[in-house]
Amino acid sequence: MKAKIIITPKKAVLDPQGKTVQNALAHIGYTGIGAVHVGKYLEIELAGGDREGARKQIDEACHRIQSNTVIEDYRFEIE
Amino acid sequence: MNFAVLQFPGSNCDQDVIHVLRNVLGHSARLLWHKESSLGAVDAVVVPGGFSYGDYLRTGAIARFSPVMEAVRGFAANGGLVLGICNGFQILCESGLLPGALIRNRSLQFRCEHTFLKTATADSPFTNRIAADKVMRLPIAHGEGCYFADEDTLAALKAKNQVLWRYVSAQGEPTEAANPNGSLDNIAGICNEARNVAGLMPHPERASEPILGCADGRLIFESMIHALTNRPEAKAA
């Protein structure tokens, strides 16, 4: 099994990287580009087959270390 | 006084802090490796700057799980003085000992320069020797120093007088231009509600001797020493 985790800055948090990418996209000619948010993607390989247990464990780990919930949101899937 | 200066893999301001405490201020200071689970007999803890664990994941995110941080947590819960400088401030925020977080500078640039600071309150063990109108000149060197907290947290910080330092112009005004990283409300440093844990992004240990161009940083360490000297149990002894 594998956990695929996506971490993004919270909406209220300043995201200068996203803003810079947005400006760059407009600068090189892409139209209709709205707000850009730059986050992180993590893949974690998991041993065993206990899907529900893995989900619980990854959720806890995301909360404790993989993201900082003051500034970031996370979501993940187990596959 | 006995100071413990923590040392994580990637700390790089630890020796500067030791130098100032020992050689400039004449106190006892020792390094404490991050794997230690006890602080021993100490009066105060300094979490120094650097790039603990290479800033992997987020600044301070991995260091906060080091065994020594559990001891620091207990020390702080008992009222012990803890000062976090730069990466130390980031670690204290990650560990929940201080509210909010430090995020990427608004300019996206690593900023290495001198800043001016004004002290918002003398009512803390970290600022009691600093006059309200004093404009301190301290260097910064960071890429992730933009202080962020949600609206409620920020309102509570202000209501409880927990903002200790703000970036200001040379004339002492908290202007947009004087803010080097985009911090909310020009915040450079804060303390916890109990006022015994503080963090700031500027480096007082790099500006504590005239030969380095400025000795304003001493005022922060001297405030801590003053607070420790005058604490009730010290007076009783």
User: pLDDT of B91-139, one tens digit each?
Assistant: 999 999 999 999 999 999 999 999 999 999 999 999 999 999 999 999 9
- Give the number of other Cβ atoms within 10 Å of residue B129's Cβ: 18
Q: Is the confidence at residue B208, as pLDDT, over 50? A: yes
pLDDT at residue B101, as a whole number: 98
Q: What is the pLDDT of residues B152-199, one digit of tens each?
A: 999 999 999 999 999 999 999 999 999 999 999 999 999 999 999 999
The shortest C-alpha distance from B62 to chain A (Å) reads 7
Please tell me which residue in B13, B27, B86, B94 is annotated as part of the active site: B86
Q: Is the pLDDT of residue B231 over 90?
A: no
Q: CA distances (Å), A79 to each of A2, A8, A48, in order?
A: 5, 20, 12
Task: Measure CB to CB from residue A14 to each of B57, B93, B146 and give the nearest one.
Answer: B146
Q: For residue A71, what pLDDT is reported? A: 96
Query: What local confidence, expressed as pLDDT, does residue A14 receive?
Result: 85
Interface residue A70 vs chain B (CB under 8 A): yes
pLDDT at residue B236 above 80? no
The average confidence (pLDDT) of chain B is 96
The pTM score is 0.94
Confirm whether B27 is a catalytic residue: no
Residue A53 and residue B43 in contact, taking contact as beta carbons nearer than 8 Å? no
Report the pLDDT value the prediction gives residue B235, as an integer from 0 to 100: 52
Q: What are the angstrom distances between the C-alpha of A5 and each of A43, A45, A62, B64, B236? A: 6, 11, 8, 21, 55
Determine the pLDDT at residue B234.
57
CB contact under 8 A, B107 and A16: yes
Q: Is A12 on the interface with B (CB under 8 A)?
A: yes
Residue A56 parent element (H or E): helix A51-61
> What average pLDDT does range A29-38 have in this prediction?
94
B237 — pLDDT class (breaks 50, 70, 90) = very low
Q: Which CATH code of 3.20.20.70, 3.40.50.300, 3.40.50.970, 3.40.50.880 fits the domain covering B2-236?
A: 3.40.50.880
Instruction: Give me the residues paired with residue B85 across strands.
Output: B200
Answer left, alpha or beta for residue B232, where phi above 0 means left and psi between -120 and 50 means alpha: alpha
Contacts of A17 in chain B (CB under 8 A): 104, 108
Which residues does B215 contact at the CB level (< 8 Å), separation at least 6?
Answer: B207, B208, B209
Q: Is 60 exceeded by the pLDDT of residue A20?
A: yes
Task: Specify the CATH architecture of the domain A2-78.
Answer: 2-Layer Sandwich (3.30)
Q: Name the pLDDT band for A12 (thresholds 50, 70, 90).
A: confident
